[in-house]
Amino acid sequence: MIDIKKEKNNSYRFVVTSGEGNALLQSIQFPTKKELDTTVKKLSPLMKKPSVFERKTDHNGKFHFTLKDTSGSIIGSSNTYTSEAGMENGITNVRKRISFLSRSKSL
């Protein structure tokens, strides 16, 4: 599921959640709902590109990933994972959730 949230400063963000309701990816803030909607519509085609996820390790040895658009700008970030396998599973789940939602027209 993709949840749209309006922030206190009147910006918007989306959160991709698992079937259990856990946040898999949280977007950057978008100044307008129109910009957010435009980005959300581009998510499904991005999932077909292998290079849109950047895998990272923080200074504590925890893993996380970012989602980038075709120009290389960050769209969103994950929470941290204790293992690389967990991070890879998170990426797989984000791909599946976004692909499933676009097929079911829930976006």
Q: Return the pLDDT at 79.
A: 94
- The shares of helix, strand and coil residues in the chain, as percent rounded to the nearest 5, are 35, 30, 35
Q: Return the pLDDT at 12.
A: 97
The total number of structural domains in the chain stands at: 1
Q: Return the pLDDT at 107.
A: 40
Q: Return the pLDDT at 15.
A: 96
Neighbour tally for 74: CB within 10 Å: 12
Mean pLDDT for each 10-residue chunk of the chain (107 residues)? 92 93 95 95 90 95 96 96 96 90 47
Q: Return the pLDDT at 105.
A: 41
- Residue bearing tokens 């829930």: 106
CA 91 from centroid of its chain's CA atoms: 9
Domain that holds residue 84: 2-103
CATH classification at residue 24: 2.30.29.80
